[in-house]
Amino acid sequence: MRVLLADDERAIAITLADDLRREGITVETASDGTEARSLYEGGRFDVVVTDLNMPGITGLELLEFIKRDPNAAEVIIITGYGTIDSAVDAMRKGAFDYVLKPFNNEEILEKLRKIREFRRLRSENVELREALGREKGLQQLIGRAPSMMKVIDRIRTVADRDARVLITGESGTGKERVARAIHDISRRSDEAFVPLACAAIPSSLLEDEIFGHERGAFTDAKERKAGRFERADGGTLFLDDIDDMPLETQVKLLRVVQEGEVEPLGSEKAFKVDVRVIAATKVDLAEAVEDGEFREDLYYRLNVVPVDLPPLRERVEDIPLLADHFLKRFEGEDHGFVIPPEVMAELCTYSWRGNVRELENAIERALALASSDKVLTRELLLEGPLRRRRKSGDSAEGGPLVTLREVVRDGEAKHIRRVLKATEGHRANAAKVLGISRKNLWEKMKDYRIE
């Protein structure tokens, strides 16, 4: 503990300082209020013990000065019987306690012990609130599958380190939810979390949305507009579907990520921003770099800490947990709805191409259509028959009767495999042969589980 002792009576200051030092306390002394203020400005003290009446700056004025500090020291006032009203006023203004002259040095020591205990408890309370905040932020991530536990462990590790994060995963796996969890348990949790879906905004408007513009930057720019970076200053910017960002916008984003400076459209001057960037993608960005569709330098800047979200079909044990979570969200804790075991078993074997989002939509649809008996049947939860792979021994004539859509999917999957084999697995060349984009091919390969 560091104590600043301010008293114009030298005998009191010397004897009290000696007793405090014998207790292992670091002490600096000042002979008046002016010297005490100067010492306080130049160092960090846990406690200031000051006489109320001193030449120059009084103890009350010193107290008011100290309490303007966001990390103010605790203050103990020394006073005589004639100025006890002033001591009470000092308590109202934030003093921790006061002692009356003449006093025993043990009285001061006892009050310092109380301050030490008070600060310890306050520190523990802050740590407890932070721990509770972290758990609350992680409660939105439902899952006990090993793959999800790895994700949660990674989030806990990286949240407070301010490093950029790249979240990968199929559509509907909950990438924005993970980004919010990282923000919620980080030191930036009291600041803004600003999401931006790059795929949802036309490329011609994306730069304006990210960087903002000045008045008169273009024909319709009648007012200044703050971009997402400016709105996220001090907090977190989440760039979803970063793979959909045009190359020319990627160049400008790289500068902000590297320099921490934003230059709005129509401005000749950049300004500093303090923003943590979390990006997400549903495609393999490393392949996009190889195909010239994503800047390599930006990829390495964003991919400081990778977080890979597993698809729902690879975390089957989480499906009952998620189903129950969505039931409670839509209908409350005492909802009373039942998913029969045999239906839950089918949910666990369903392919869930739309991942968690598709399961959420299925639960919401089933609740909207459910009858008064509150039993959610297979027909309510699943649209059409379960998606199946045709067995290798089935023929078109002798195999099971399936929908036309399944036949088309089966034929498409076979043709994609054939083209990939012919192009020796080169996806860019295969996409050209098939007449589709590389991203579309990647999504179809994921859908059909083509390695």
Over the stretch 63-115, which tens digit does the pLDDT of each residue have? Answer: 999 888 877 889 999 887 667 777 788 888 888 888 888 888 898 899 998 88
Cβ partners under 8 Å of residue 350, min gap 6:
382, 386, 387
Locate CATH 3.40.50.2300 in the chain. Answer: 2-122
Cis (ω within 30 of 0) for the bond into 102?
yes
pLDDT at 440: 84
pLDDT at 396: 41
Class of domain 404-448: mainly alpha
| pLDDT > 50? residue 324 | yes
The tokens of 374 are what?
A: 């509150």
Task: Report the SS3 class of residue 32.
Answer: coil
| pLDDT > 60? residue 159 | yes
Task: Report the SS3 class of residue 58.
Answer: coil
Q: Which residue has the higher pLDDT, 420 or 300?
A: 300
What average pLDDT does range 119-141 have in this prediction?
60
Q: Are strands 193-197 and 165-168 parallel, antiparallel or unpaired?
A: unpaired
What average pLDDT does range 351-376 have in this prediction?
87
Q: Rounded CA gap, 299 and 297, in Å?
A: 5
Taking Cα atoms as reference points, which of 398, 313, 299 lies closest to residue 348?
Answer: 313
pLDDT at 388: 39
Compute φ and ψ for 198, nearest 5 degrees: -60, -30
Locate CATH 1.10.8.60 in the chain. Answer: 322-381
pLDDT at 82: 65
Are the beta carbons of 40 and 48 closer than 8 angstroms? yes
pLDDT category at 182 given cuts 50, 70, 90 is: very high
pLDDT category at 217 given cuts 50, 70, 90 is: confident
Q: Tell me what percent of the chain is helix, strand and coil, each rounded to the nearest 5.
A: 50, 15, 35
Q: Rounded CA gap, 169 and 338, in Å?
A: 31
Taking Cα atoms as reference points, which of 323, 293, 260 lies closest to residue 442?
Answer: 293
pLDDT at 349: 83
CATH number given to 139-308: 3.40.50.300
| pLDDT > 70? residue 125 | no
Rg of the chain over Cα atoms, rounded to whole angstroms, equals: 32
Question: What is the topology classification, in CATH, of domain 322-381?
Answer: Helicase, Ruva Protein; domain 3 (1.10.8)
pLDDT category at 150 given cuts 50, 70, 90 is: very high
Count of other CB atoms within 10 angstroms of residue 357: 15
pLDDT at 151: 92
| pLDDT > 80? residue 43 | no
CATH number given to 2-122: 3.40.50.2300
pLDDT at 138: 66
Residue 335 is classified by DSSP as -
pLDDT at 75: 92
Ramachandran region, residue 116 (left: φ > 0; alpha: ψ -120 to 50; beta: rest): alpha
Taking Cα atoms as reference points, which of 431, 403, 438 lies closest to residue 416?
Answer: 431
| pLDDT > 90? residue 240 | yes
Are the beta carbons of 156 and 200 closer than 8 angstroms? no
pLDDT category at 395 given cuts 50, 70, 90 is: very low
| pLDDT > 80? residue 419 | yes
Reported as type and span, the H/E element at residue 225 is strand 225-226
The tokens of 292 are what?
A: 């010239």
Q: Rounded CA gap, 307 and 177, in Å?
A: 12
Task: Report the SS3 class of residue 127.
Answer: helix
Locate CATH 1.10.10 in the chain. Answer: 404-448
Minimum mean pLDDT range among 248-252, 315-319, 423-427: 423-427
Compute φ and ψ for 444, nearest 5 degrees: -70, -40
What average pLDDT does range 405-413 have in this prediction?
77
Minimum mean pLDDT range among 126-130, 331-335, 363-367: 126-130
Q: Which sign, positive or negative, has the C-alpha torsion 158, 161, 166, 167?
A: positive
Most confidently modeled range among 54-63, 92-101, 257-266, 301-310: 301-310
Map tokens 């998620």 to a residue: 322
Mutual orientation of helices 105-138 and 175-184 as an angle, nearest 10°? 180
| pLDDT > 90? residue 223 | no
Reported as type and span, the H/E element at residue 229 is helix 228-231
pLDDT category at 427 given cuts 50, 70, 90 is: confident
Mutual orientation of helices 319-331 and 355-369 as an angle, nearest 10°? 50
Locate CATH 3.40.50.300 in the chain. Answer: 139-308
Minimum mean pLDDT range among 87-96, 114-123, 250-259, 356-365: 114-123
pLDDT at 258: 92
| pLDDT > 50? residue 385 | no
Reported as type and span, the H/E element at residue 238 is strand 236-240
| pLDDT > 70? residue 383 | no
Taking Cα atoms as reference points, which of 167, 177, 188, 183 lies closest to residue 141?
Answer: 177
What average pLDDT does range 393-422 have in this prediction?
68
CA atoms within a 13 Å half-sphere pointing along the CA-CB vector of 95: 26
Residue 265 is classified by DSSP as B
pLDDT at 309: 94
Q: Rounded CA gap, 285 and 316, in Å?
A: 27
Q: Which residue has the higher pLDDT, 86 or 286?
A: 286
